[in-house]
Amino acid sequence: MSRLMEMAQKADSVAILGHMRPDGDCVGSCLAVCNYLLEQYPEKAVQVYLEKPADKFSYLERFDTISQDAQDGQEYGLCICLDSGDKARLGEFARYLDQAKASICIDHHVTNHGYAQENVVQADKSSTCEVLYQFLEEEKISRAVAECLYTGMIHDTNVFKNSNTSAATMEIAGKLMAKGINFGKIIDDTFFRKSYVQNQILGRALLESISFMDGKCIFAAVRQKDLEFYGADYSDLDGIVDQLRVTGGVECAIFLHETENHVFKVSMRSNNEVDVSKVATYFGGGGHVRAAGCTMNGSVHDVINNLSIHIAEQIA
């Protein structure tokens, strides 16, 4: 029995937390644990707490049970933190970690230095869902759990294209496919299919993007007024930075999303040379070598100028 399951077996109640603005790996890993635990221990109280995930993940089992209530007064025997590189990224739900009798963090962010009582951080893995797979008994993984794990893996690997994809990643994906999941539909519906609004805002970001450093870097920014104009929210911005990254000749792509006046969420992606986690960490963020982010204050030009200094140090 894995350490995770030993801890879960001893606890009468379990809280499951992920990072703010949950992506596919976050939602997938949280619901995978939730479903797996309730399938093995239906008598236990298990609750996932996340900011509202994108509706495109609503096909995942128990999606509709996710709570956004950080003040429900519950205290848990065990708190499981997934895919969150630091405690701050748990947001207001961190109170459940603080009040739990026991806690464990499972993650793959290289910038995670451990904030739970027990921590399993494997930065060489493609996704938290890949790390999590090791804690589950393969024969007990249901189709519902397999859908959750597969969803997380495709989203953090850009459908098995990123450099963090390994032979082991593909072997696990194959085992999950063997559970009977509709893997093609999962990829199409959650990764490639976009709404009319998403296409509009993607088009605007690409149209107004600017390349610099002799074409080795590119950035685009979406301000609050743009989101209001299109009737969009942060979940409609998925994929913009990845589209910028595949621009010919680009080594590093930057996407800025204004969360409040002169406050920007920064997403960075690189292809070969730049370790964007180093840049993000300098500005109080974190992530992976090829994908990282942070939050910065100032005008768009202030933010880009500050980032450029650190990116330029790594570009030959």
Count of domains observed in the chain: 2
| Tens digit of each residue's pLDDT (9 = 90 or more) over 172-184 | 999 999 999 999 9
Q: Which has the closest alpha carbon to 244: 220, 273, 208?
A: 220
158, 192, 226 - which closes a domain: 192
Residue with tokens 């949280």: 30
Residue 73 pLDDT > 90: no
Residue with tokens 């500005």: 283
Pair of tokens at residue 233? 């929210």
Q: Are 294 and 178 in a shared domain?
A: no
In the structure, what pLDDT confidence band is assigned to residue 21 with cuts at 50, 70 and 90?
Answer: very high
Helix or strand holding residue 253 (H, E): strand 252-260
Q: Are 124 and 226 in a shared domain?
A: no
Q: Are 231 and 138 in a shared domain?
A: no
By residue range, what is the domain housing residue 18? 3-192
148, 163, 192 - which closes a domain: 192
Q: In the prediction, which pLDDT does 252 show?
A: 98
Predicted TM-score (pTM) of this structure: 0.90
Q: Which has the closest alpha carbon to 104: 137, 127, 135?
A: 135
Q: Are 109 and 131 in a shared domain?
A: yes
CATH code of 289's domain: 3.10.310.30
Q: Are 180 and 241 in a shared domain?
A: no
Helix or strand holding residue 186 (H, E): helix 183-187
User: 313: how many CB neighbours lie within 10 A of its CB?
Assistant: 10
Share of the chain above pLDDT 90, in %: 94
Pair of tokens at residue 245? 């990254």
Q: In the prediction, which pLDDT does 36 show?
A: 98
Q: If DSSP codes are grouped into helix, strand and coil, which group holds residue 183?
A: helix
Q: Are 43 and 149 in a shared domain?
A: yes
Residue 34 pLDDT > 90: yes
CATH code of 172's domain: 3.90.1640.10
Q: In the prediction, which pLDDT does 131 show?
A: 98
Q: In the prediction, which pLDDT does 163 show?
A: 87
Q: Are 91 and 215 in a shared domain?
A: no
| Tens digit of each residue's pLDDT (9 = 90 or more) over 234-286 | 889 999 999 999 999 999 999 999 999 999 999 999 999 999 999 999 999 99
Q: CA angle 61-120-105, nearest 5°?
A: 55
153, 169, 192 - which closes a domain: 192
Residue 316 pLDDT > 80: no
User: 149: how many CB neighbours lie within 10 A of its CB?
Assistant: 31
Q: Are 172 and 230 in a shared domain?
A: no
Q: CA angle 134-139-141, nearest 5°?
A: 65
Residue with tokens 């990072």: 19
CA distance 59 to 250: 35
Q: Which has the closest alpha carbon to 101: 15, 3, 35, 17?
A: 15
Q: Are 91 and 177 in a shared domain?
A: yes
Residue with tokens 């979940």: 235
Q: Are 122 and 217 in a shared domain?
A: no
b/e map 249-286, b = 16+ CB within 10 Å: ebbbbbbbbbeeeeebbbbbbbeeebbbbbbbbebebb
Q: Are 164 and 295 in a shared domain?
A: no
Mean pLDDT of the chain: 96
CA distance 201 to 189: 19
Residue 71 pLDDT > 90: no
Q: Are 148 and 13 in a shared domain?
A: yes
CA distance 158 to 206: 19
